[in-house]
Amino acid sequence: MTSVQPPAPGRELSNPPSDGISNLRFSNHSDHLLVSSWDKSVRLYDASANALRGEFLHGGPVLDCCFHDDSSGFSASADHTVRRLVFSYNKEDILGRHDAPVRCVEYSYAAGQLITGSWDKTLKCWDPRGASGQDRTLVGTYAQPERVYSLSLVGNRLVVATAGRHVNVYDLRNMSQPEQRRESSLKYQTRCVRCYPNGTGYALSSVEGRVAMEFFDLSEASQAKKYAFKCHRKSEAGRDIVYPVNAIAFHPVYGTFATGGCDGFVNVWDGNNKKRLYQYSKYPTSIAALSFSRDGCLLAVASSYTYEEGDKAHEPDAIYVRSVNEIEVKPKPKVYPNPPA
């Protein structure tokens, strides 16, 4: 009997960052991939061609990045700056600043605004169409209960997850105050928040191997649907070893989602049916970030140690791009038993 080889982890991109990968994102228009890193760079790859198309160096580690369109993007840096990067001309300008490292950046196509979240406990909205300079591009500054750790957008809804397990939900059309002020239903620090593609709620992960599935609608019927589940854990000698869940990425076609943990595993889940659909073979080190391409045919995986166990020898930082098979991400139809005759 021939042994079945586990599928390869995907194609490894050449010229990866030289330090920890903070995030990676596919474009909404192509298979271009934007990658931010603690090595102070933002890199633009053509994932299909395995080619580095551009690189921008910052004054400090880059903690997040996002696309504006296929030829430009934005970055959030530990040097307190928010930058616009224009790939086609290889130029950049500083859109504005926070008073502490900028942790998150999201571009809203609905509002035509850039939203940034910082460890200075504020959220800022920017109009990138304004001339450069903070006084011309800053739309508003909104105080948060704690340092901002993760942001996610769907339509005009913005979800902000901060330290202290706070979650604020905003309507981008009225940022004067949150539409909802919530507390994470998980007991431990939030790592990642991502909105459902259908706009009904969000998934939130914690450092303690759990994901919570939440709903915006506050009616009793909707809130009865929320739940949390354990993941990215293993039992060893009778002890439960629990890993942080660093990344969540929703499949754009099926609405299923992948999670990545410090255990080096990527799991795919069907949230509606509360089932795990797939587990990819283990990656060399922690999964720092995940992103599906616009059509859901590719999954980019950042295999990059996130220092959860302090400074120690670790595998080199790498980006894998894998082809996604429908069987890994498509919900399985529920099978109902035949009624008795």
Whether residue 273 has pLDDT greater than 80: yes
Instruction: Please report whether residue 179 resides in a domain.
Output: yes
Instruction: Please report whether residue 232 resides in a domain.
Output: yes
- Closest C-alpha among 40, 21, 39, 33 to residue 70: 33
What is the CB neighbour count within 10 angstroms for residue 2? Answer: 4
Residue 70, token pair as written in the block: 């296929």
Instruction: Please report whether residue 264 resides in a domain.
Output: yes
Q: What is each CA distance from 272 to 140, 255, 332, in whole angstroms?
A: 37, 9, 11
Q: What is each CA distance from 2 to 5, 9, 160, 280, in whole angstroms?
A: 9, 21, 50, 21
Spatial separation of the C-alpha atoms in residues 179 and 164, rounded to whole Å:
19
Instruction: Please report whether residue 338 resides in a domain.
Output: no
Instruction: Please report whether residue 333 resides in a domain.
Output: no
| Structure letter (DSSP) for residue 7 | P
Q: Cβ distance 252 to 197 under 8 Å?
A: yes
The CA angle 294-297-303, to the nearest 5 degrees, is 90
- Closest C-alpha among 300, 288, 289 to residue 324: 300
Spatial separation of the C-alpha atoms in residues 100 and 162, rounded to whole Å:
15
- Burial state string for 17-56 with b = 16 or more CB within 10 A and e = fewer than 16: beebbbbbbbbeeebbbbbbbbbbbbbbbebeeeeeebbb
State the pTM of this model: 0.94
Instruction: Please report whether residue 26 resides in a domain.
Output: yes
Spatial separation of the C-alpha atoms in residues 140 and 148, rounded to whole Å:
16
The per-residue pLDDT for range 214-269, each reduced to its tens digit, is 999 999 999 999 999 999 999 988 899 999 999 999 999 999 999 999 999 999 99
Residue 193's DSSP bridge partners are: 204
The pLDDT score that the predictor gives to residue 71 is 87
Spatial separation of the C-alpha atoms in residues 242 and 226, rounded to whole Å:
22
Mean pLDDT score of the chain, rounded to an integer?
A: 93
Q: What is each CA distance from 246 to 175, 218, 232, 305, 326, in whole angstroms?
A: 28, 27, 10, 11, 24
Which of 5-9, 81-85, 106-110, 127-131 shows the lowest mean pLDDT across its residues? 5-9
The pLDDT score that the predictor gives to residue 3 is 46
The pLDDT score that the predictor gives to residue 2 is 47
163: domain CATH number? 2.130.10.10
- Give the mean pLDDT of 9-32: 96
Spatial separation of the C-alpha atoms in residues 203 and 222, rounded to whole Å:
15
Whether residue 5 has pLDDT greater than 60: no
Residues of the chain above pLDDT 90, percent: 84
- Closest C-alpha among 60, 90, 74 to residue 132: 74
Residues of the chain above pLDDT 70, percent: 94
Higher pLDDT, 99 or 312: 99
The pLDDT score that the predictor gives to residue 7 is 59
End-to-end CA distance of the chain: 42
| Structure letter (DSSP) for residue 174 | B
Domain that holds residue 47: 11-307+316-324
Q: What is each CA distance from 68 to 31, 59, 105, 147, 245, in whole angstroms?
A: 14, 21, 11, 25, 27
Instruction: Please report whether residue 99 resides in a domain.
Output: yes
Provide the number of structural domains found in the chain. 1
Q: Cβ distance 300 to 43 under 8 Å?
A: no
Instruction: Please report whether residue 85 resides in a domain.
Output: yes
